[in-house]
Amino acid sequence: MGGFILGIPTFINLFSNGYILGVIFAVYSKTFGMEKFVNLTLPHGIFEISAIIIAGAAGFKIPYEIIKYLAGKKEQILIKEDIQEYLTLGLISAILIVIAAWIEADITLKIAKAMLKAKGI
């Protein structure tokens, strides 16, 4: 529904995700070191950050089409291709989130255990 209120929820979501990641990066990398932060976030972060960006693009798709319609550059607000593109972006984002979740639960956990074992903990 955020698309119909001109992408404001999409903007808030993208902003908050970026802000939270930045704060976590600043605090964690200072406290535990950059190497640990990268090792624990990069494997799943590649997919998760991509999914967030693609979801943001999907969230701005409907407001973009509404603005084009109101500006007189389109005859219809949403056409079949617009809806297909929106759904495709949403599906790609969902698939990437599932992949990121699997990597975080399986691979990142193994990396964390290996890091703890290397320290003798």
Distance CA 67, CA 7 (A): 11
Domains of the chain by residue range: 2-119
Look at the block and give the residue holding tokens 């007189």: 72
Q: What is the pLDDT of residues 85-116, one digit of tens each?
A: 999 999 999 999 999 999 999 998 898 888 88
- This prediction has a pTM of 0.82
Give the pLDDT score at 1: 59
Q: Supply 35's token pair.
A: 């190497």
Q: Which pLDDT score is estimated for 49?
A: 93
Alpha carbon 52 to its chain's center: 1
Which pLDDT value is given to residue 3? 62
The answer for residues whose C-beta is within 8 angstroms of residue 24's C-beta and 6 or more apart is none
SS3 (DSSP) at 91: helix
CA 116 to chain centre: 28
Question: pLDDT digits over 59-73, tens only?
Answer: 898 888 888 999 999
- pLDDT for 6 equals 76
